[in-house]
Each structure stands twice: as C-alpha cells, then as structure tokens.
Amino acid sequence: GAVVSQHPSRVICKSGTSVKIECRSLDFQATTMFWYRQFPKQSLMLMATSNEGSKATYEQGVEKDKFLINHASLTLSTLTVTSAHPEDSSFYICSALTGTNYGYTFGSGTRLTVV
Amino acid sequence: RKEVEQDPGPFNVPEGATVAFNCTYSNSASQSFFWYRQDCRKEPKLLMSVYSSGNEDGRFTAQLNRASQYISLLIRDSKLSDSATYLCVVDNNAGNMLTFGGGTRLMVKP
C-alpha cells in the first residue's frame, strides 16, 4: 500500500532555532501534500497544502514565513518551523493523496517540543 | 458553529457492548465522508469511508444522512482494542481539503 515516511518522529529544540520535518512518499508520487498540526486533546488542523513545483497554499492564521514548505519533488515535501517558540510545540502530521481509490495516507507524525 | 462537530466523549463501555457515534457537518455541498481512528500520540488511520447507501465492515457500520447532514458510526461487540479516538472527516472540495471533527474518545473496559 501507499506509505508516507515522516521524520523525525520526535524532536526537542531550543527556542529560536529552526526545525525541518520531512515527508517522503515511498511507493507513489505525491502531487499534493497536506500539513496538519494537532495540539493536545484537539483535532487535526490543516496548516497548508503543497503542490509539487509550486508555492504552498496556507490556511488563514498560519504564517507562511514561519512555516516554510518545500515540495520540490513528487516524493518529498518538507516543513521547516523557523525561529521556533514554545507555543509551536505540537504534533505535526503530513498527508498525501495516493491517487488510488481516492485515498489519503498519513505520515507517522512529528512531535515537536520547543524548550 | 464548527464545520464538523462531534461529541468529544469519553464513551466508557464494557466489552461486548454496542456503541454509536454521530457527527454533524455544516457544509451541505460536502462530497465525501470518512471515519478515521487515532490512537494516542499516533497518526490517524482510515477506518472506513461512508457511502450514501451505508456500508458495513465487520463490526463497524457507517451511515450517511445527507438531508440531516450527519454521519454515524456503529461499533458492535466492542473490543478492548477498539479504545481510541474516532475522527469524523469531511472532504469539501473533491480531494483538496479534509476537515476533521474534534474526535470522539472511546474507552472499552473489561
């Protein structure tokens, strides 16, 4: 089946530093990748949609200069949290359209803790 | 009003019980509907799609009521392993945008 590999699974960083999260589609081409954020005891909130080779579309309230998304190839999308602050601590998950049977597949998530 | 609403629970049920969750959505133009399961600190996993005619997969039955704009999930003969958060998910834009409900937490006890 379609697999999205997300790394790292867990990261702790100091306030003010940047963190890069990678999502790779292993056995399919992910034309579109979605990035979500989930705070404790809340549901997933869409942050942005990225299409290969074009600029990402950000949801209202999500700072595009803070959450940099790059989708340079059909198998790799990255989210960089720049100048991270403790309030950015969250669970970040990517998801891709597999293109088969109209299905989505999720990465395993990245738990970011900013100290 | 949230686009997709669910009772957060928790629903505490004994093993073997039947439990049902409802979810309401506000966009009448919504096209596709899903139930996802999310275990603690894990990514969501697709449980089942929800079709207009209703569909069943083993102990799980999903139904869609477009007129009233709600979908339901019925779990029969609950197992301990069913304990999780169940997310109602609506696709409003033909594959371009999933909206997640807040999730309903289920705890199945021995």
**Interchain CB distance below 8 Å, A106 and B45:** yes
**Interchain CB distance below 8 Å, A104 and B98:** yes
What percent of chain A is predicted at pLDDT more than 90?
Answer: 61
pLDDT tops 60 at residue A77: yes
Tell me the torsion sign for CA atoms B30, B32, B37, B40: negative
**Interchain CB distance below 8 Å, A49 and B102:** no
Mean pLDDT of the region B71-86? 97
pLDDT confidence band for B93 (50 / 70 / 90)? low
pLDDT tops 90 at residue B78: yes
B7 CB-side CA count, 13 A: 12
**Interchain CB distance below 8 Å, B42 and A109:** yes
What pLDDT is stored for residue A6 in this prediction?
A: 95
pLDDT tops 70 at residue A103: no
What pLDDT is stored for residue A32 in this prediction?
A: 87
List B residues 48-107 in contact with A (Cβ-Cβ < 8 A): 87, 95-103
For residues B58 and A45, give the distance between their C-alpha atoms in angstroms, rounded to a whole number.
30
For residues B80 and B95, give the distance between their C-alpha atoms in angstroms, rounded to a whole number.
33
Task: Among B25, B42, B43, pick the best mutation site for testing chain A contact (most A Cβ within 10 A).
Answer: B43
